[in-house]
A and B are shown apart, each in its own frame.
Chain A
C-alpha cells in the first residue's frame, strides 16, 4: 500500500511484471504479507517465492529480500547481520540483471531500493556504516564529543 508505493516511486521503479521474494526465513507471514502487498500495488504482476539458496530468476523485475530479524531498532540495522548473504547475492547472476532489489526490514517496515547492478556497492556501504557506528559506540572520546544535545 502507501509505504511500498512511496518507496518504489522514489526509486523510479517501473511497474514490475515478475516479482520474486527470496525465502530468507521460515516465518510463514513473510511471503504471505509481501505477496498481498505487492499484488495490491501491482495486480497484473506475478509474485512468487524463491527457495532458500536459489538465486532469483533472470527475468525478475523486482527482487524482494526480506530481513526478518528483530534487531534493536533503530540502532541496529538488521541488514548488517545479513551482509554475507547480501554479498553472495550481489556476486551472483542477479548483478547482471536489470532488476531492482528491495531490501525490506520486515519487522520495522523499513525498505530501500537498489538497482541489482549497484547492490555490491550498497552492501559495501552498509559494511562501512556498521564499522563506523561500532567505532563511535566504543570510543569514549567520541561519546564525549557526540553527547546528546538535550
Chain B
C-alpha cells in the first residue's frame, strides 16, 4: 500500500478540498497523512504565527524541519504539496526526494513566482495545476517538470442533495446566492443585483453599505454550505482575480453535485469539464448575469434540467476520487 504525505493548509477557504483529497487517496488504497502548515501548530510555530512572524526565516525553518521529520518517520512514497508551496524550501524537497519519495506539486493559486517556489519547480517529479494558464509558464522554467491540468472536484458525500426542513428553507433560501469572500469584483457585481432576492454568505460583505440586509454575518462551512447550495435557485460563481486566470474553482462542481444551478463567469477551463449551455451556463458581464438570472428564474424546468445534467457529469467524471486516480495514474502509482 503506497504511503502519501500531503502538505497543505486547512485554515478556512471556501472548501475543505485538501481533506477531501486525503479521503479520496485513502479510498483508492493509499495510506494518507496530512501535515498542515497553518493549523494545529506546534508551540513555537504557533507563537510565531500569532506574533505575525509566520513569514520569517525562523518559521520557515521550523515548518521545513517538521516536514523532514514527518518524512523520516512515515517514509512516504509520495509527497504531495497541495494548494500551493507556501513554505517548503528546495533543500527540503531535495532531501525527501533523495529518500526515493516522489515529490509532486498540486498548484491551485498560481503561486510559483517567489524565488523558493520557482527554484523548487525543477525538483518536482510532476506538477498538477488547477489553472491551464500556468502550464506554459511552468514549461518555460529551466529543467521544467512535466505539468498537467488537474481539475477541481466535488465529493458526493460532502456535496449532495439534501431534503431541507421548512425552517432551514426559510433561513437559507434565496433566488440568487453566493458563498465566499467579498472580493472587490464580487461587491461590485452584487451591488447591481439589489432588485433580485439576493443572499450573500461568507466574510467581508459588510464592506459594502449597499449590500446591507443581503448578507448575514455568520460563517458558512461544511454542511451549511451544502444546504445553501440546495436552497438557492441560482448560485453565482465569480472568482478572485488574484488566484485564477483561466482556471475555475471547485464551486461550480460542488453546486452541481448538490443538484444546484450555477451561473458562472466564463473561465476558459470550465468548458473542459462541463458543456457550456447544456451543463453549465455562463455570463459575460453584469448585464448578461441580470438577463440570464431573470430568464432561468422564470424557466424552472430548464434550470432544473441543466442542473441535473451538471450533477450527472460531476459525479461521473469530476469527483476527488477521479482526481486522485488521475494523480496516481500519471505517476505510475495507480
A contacts, CB < 8 Å to B: 1-4, 6, 10, 27, 29, 33, 36-37, 40, 73-77, 80, 106-110, 112, 125, 128-130, 132-137, 142, 145-150
Contacts and interface: CB of A to CB of B under 8 A. Distances in A.
Interface string B27-40: 00000001000111
Nearest to A137: B51
A112 to B, nearest CB: 6
Given A110-B12, A125-B43, A74 B49 contact: yes
B75 interface: no
A133 B50 contact: yes
Given A129-B50, A133-B51, A108 B56 contact: no
Nearest to B20: A2
A132 B51 CA distance: 8
Contacts of A147: 56
B43 A4 contact: no
B114 interface: yes
Contact of A109 (B40, B222, B227): B222
Interface of B: 10-12, 16, 19-20, 22-23, 34, 38-40, 43, 46-60, 114-116, 155, 157-158, 203, 216, 218-219, 221-224, 226-227
Nearest to A134: B51
A37 B218 contact: no
Contact of A136 (B23, B39, B47): B47
Nearest to A107: B219
Contacts, number: 113
Contact of A36 (B20, B40, B58, B223): B223
A21 B48 CA distance: 31
B6 to A, nearest CB: 12
B222 A129 contact: no
A29 B19 CA distance: 24
A77 B219 CA distance: 16
A118 to B, nearest CB: 15
A147 B55 CA distance: 8
Contacts of A77: 46, 50
B223 A37 contact: yes
A3 B221 CA distance: 9
Contacts of B58: 145-146
B222 A4 contact: yes
Contacts of B46: 77, 129, 133
Nearest to B222: A1
Contacts of B16: 1-3, 6
A110 B11 contact: yes
Contact of B223 (A1, A10, A29, A80): A1
